[in-house]
A and B are shown apart, each in its own frame.
Chain A
Amino acid sequence: MNVFERLLSVSRRKSPWVYCLNAGSCNGCDIEIAATMGPRYDPEQVGALRQGSPKHADILLVTGPLTLRTQDALCDIWGQIPRPKAVVAIGSCPASGNVFVGSPTIVGPLAQVIPVDLYVPGCPPRPQAILQGCIQAAHLLAAGKTNDQLATRKDGR
């Protein structure tokens, strides 16, 4: 790694900007994300900022069991986030479907649709766990080891 690559790696670790997406969640995890972004857990002290535009984000936080109606929007927004990017699945729903498993209106685990890097388990998870998920995703981005980064490297990019 040359000097600029090393600096870039450090800055990816220090400045994870997140974009939150509700893919059919019951709103429980979204309330915990709102608490995470609030003054009490202050993610800005590790450099994390919530962004309104996916084009400014590094990390996509997905909540909910991924319903049929949100699938296209999810793929669209995931495609709009510029590389390098990480995906963190918040709560049990995107991991397994949780209590909605077997429902005709859900697509299935999130990893079938987009590459997921981290799962933050819980129904809903605690704000500390969500914050830790963001920090670990930032470390993956810095190391170049998110699934998207590994996949694009294999394509010869």
Chain B
Amino acid sequence: MNAWGGIGSALLLWPGFFGGAALAWLLVWIQRKAAAQLQGRIGPPFYQPFFDFIKLLGKDTAVPVGVNRRLVFALPLISLVAAVCAVSLIPVPGNPMPSFAGDLVVLLYLLEMPALCEVLAGFSSRSLYGQVGSAREAVLWLGYNLPFLAAVVSLAIQAKSLTLATLAAVPLGPVHLAAAAAFLCALPARLKRNPFSIPNAEQEIVAGPFTEYSGVPLACFELSHGLELVALASLFTVLFLPLGNTFALRWPLYLVGSAALVGVITLVATATARLTVRHAFRFYWSWGACAAILALMIAGMW
């Protein structure tokens, strides 16, 4: 397969749009099912996220008065495309995407796009709840990116490379431990799960930035959030798990690793209550900063 064929099939089939969406729905289902079981409920059947998505595609789209119609459709679409591109860059098992120098930087930019689109969507929706949700998301964004970026940068310093495949091939060491701690610390806020479900706190601000969104735009936002989950779980397994080169070991380790990560996040989410923005920000700039500095120091010294 030539390079363009590889890029095309990575974006469309696996791990891009179709394969990524299937894995996203599976991980979202694991999240919902695990949360239900922990709360003593039965929980949704495994096809639930898929049917939710299809149903939303078939709903009317209400555009609020005074909001640009093109913006309502463009923001979720940009978010979705960025999430698909981000997922297809990560060297997960079976990814035909050719590796290039600096793909880590591209990935980090693409991973910020869904959050950015969400903030813009909330601010532009003319809903008070949307604006409060967006403001919270923007503040939190400055918090969780400190440990998240430090985790990735410390691995890049150690590997002396900005290529994801090189980072993934580095044998595990003490820097991975500190970087994984910083990464895990940033994850619940990135996914807007408890105790950091502050921007989409449904008991306080309805659905946060998505309050005014319905139909196809809402479906795109839901799917891009699922793909974000896939991207972060993939990034974690690729960077911090010894996936190795044998086919029989890579696939199960990747899938089980992703599912286990989602399980841990759900366990934390169901066991904790929501923090305020102030406390969450303080958490990230104290404990998150500690993990970040530790990871960077170890990376610099080793």
Contact = CB atoms under 8 A, between A and B. Distances in A.
Interface of A: 7-8, 10-12, 14-15, 39, 42, 44-45, 47, 51-53, 55-56, 58, 80, 82-84
B62 A47 contact: no
A80 B212 CA distance: 10
B169 interface: no
Interface in B187-225: 202-203, 206-207, 210-215, 218
A55 B36 contact: no
B218 A45 contact: no
B41 A44 contact: yes
B18 interface: no
Interface of B: 32, 36, 39-45, 47-48, 50-52, 54-55, 57-62, 129, 202-203, 206-207, 210-215, 218
A53 B205 CA distance: 10
Most A CB within 10 A of own CB, among B48, B55, B213: B55
Contacts of B202: 52
A151 B39 CA distance: 41
Query: What are the 6 tightest A-B residue pairs by CB atom distance, in nearest-first order?
Result: A82-B60, A11-B51, A11-B54, A55-B214, A52-B206, A42-B41
B52 A82 contact: no
Contacts of A53: 129, 206-207, 210-212
A39 B39 contact: yes
B48 A47 contact: yes
A39 B214 CA distance: 27
Contacts of A15: 48, 51-52, 55
B47 A14 contact: yes
Given A8-B54, A52-B202, A58-B55, A44 B43 contact: yes
A45 B45 contact: yes
Contact of A45 (B42, B61, B129, B203): B42
A45 B44 contact: yes
14 contacts: A11-B51, A11-B54, A11-B55, A15-B51, A15-B55, A39-B40, A44-B32, A44-B41, A44-B44, A47-B44, A47-B48, A53-B210, A56-B214, A58-B55
A144 B47 CA distance: 22
Most B CB within 10 A of own CB, among A55, A58, A84: A55
Given A45-B45, A53-B211, 14 more contacts: A8-B54, A8-B55, A8-B57, A8-B58, A14-B48, A42-B41, A44-B48, A45-B42, A47-B45, A52-B206, A53-B129, A53-B212, A56-B214, A82-B59
